[in-house]
Amino acid sequence: LNVLVLQVTRDDDRNTIRRSYRRLALQTHPDKQTNDEAKAKAEEQMKLLNAAYEILTDPEQRREYDYMLDNPDQMYYNYYQYYRRRFAPKVDVRLVIAAILILVSSIQYVGQWTSYREALSYLSRDPKHRSKAREIAQAEGLLNVKRKENGKRGDCQKPSLRRVPIVRLFFLPYAVFQWSRWAGRWVMDYWILRKPYDDDAKEYLTRRRLGMNADQWDGLDEARKQFYLRLALWDPANFKVYTESKAEEQRIQAAENSQHKRYRRYVKRAGGPPKLGLEDMDL
């Protein structure tokens, strides 16, 4: 149909198709018509010419068109190709993904600063951490000693662009390379050669056994880190003893809390703590 509209054959090249389109467009252009009926008819013909020209000059659409001519029995597939192209979004998907990444990264970075300021504001009001928080805040230019920002309790590290999604994605190949090199060294040194753990390996195993990521470990004060390292938790036997002792502490604490709750419920039902009289005393 398209080759008939443009008065060309399937073997004609793009230059021939272009010349035929220009010739027919000049003949059927609505501005060359003298009455309204002829103009309306010319507009319909121009739509057909434009559609046929687009299909025959676009490489992908031309392949689909030729396939349809060669395989007329595959009607449903040809319909699918037509409607897929007609209703497919015209915007480049890569641009959409990039825009979403930029938007999410911007929101996350602003959120980092908001949480960071709220954490410093809370710590500056907490007597235990006020002096340290003020030093950090003043160094970062985030806190005015005369007028502190109001905020709820927070707990976060200093904001960094390296933690937003778009930057993480950019550095992903480098991160994969670094991790692969580290994993290879770990396997060679500690699995194959059976070398003793160095300080970095001990620290890594300790935080992993405690269920902490690198940021959480870095957030601990030095005294707490040294406490965990002195326990030598990288040794499975020591870690087993540690987990058993923690489980026992939690069991005792839960029992004490349960007894205390029962006592409070008793006092509430009795209208006050129990009173002892002389008859209750063993004299």
Burial class (CB in 10 A: 0-12, 13-18, 19+), 155: exposed
The pLDDT confidence band at residue 109, using thresholds 50, 70 and 90, is: very high
Share above pLDDT 70 across residues of the chain, in percent, rounded to a whole number: 74
Identity of the residue numbered 33: Q
pTM assigned to the model: 0.53
> Per-residue pLDDT for 277 more than 70?
no
Using DSSP, state whether 190 is helix, strand or coil: helix
| pLDDT class of 121 with cuts at 50, 70, 90 | confident
Instruction: Report the distance separating Cα 192 and Cα 61, nearest Å.
Output: 58
Work out the pLDDT band at 90, boundaries 50, 70, 90. Answer: low
Q: CA torsion 64→68→73→76, rounded to 10°?
A: 50
pLDDT at 75 over 90: no
Q: Report the first-to-last Cα separation within the chain, whole angstroms.
A: 118
Task: Please give the Cα distance from 112 to 117 (Å, whole number).
Answer: 9
| CA 249 vs CA 212, 243, 255: distances in Å | 21, 10, 10
Is the confidence at residue 161, as pLDDT, over 70? yes
Stretch among 129-138, 199-208, 231-240 having the lowest mean pLDDT: 129-138
**245-266 pLDDT, tens per residue?**
999 998 888 777 766 667 667 6
Q: Is the pLDDT of residue 131 over 80?
A: no
pLDDT at 282 (0 to 100): 42
Supply the angle between the helices 59-70 and 36-57 in degrees, to the nearest 10: 90
* pLDDT of 267 above 90: no
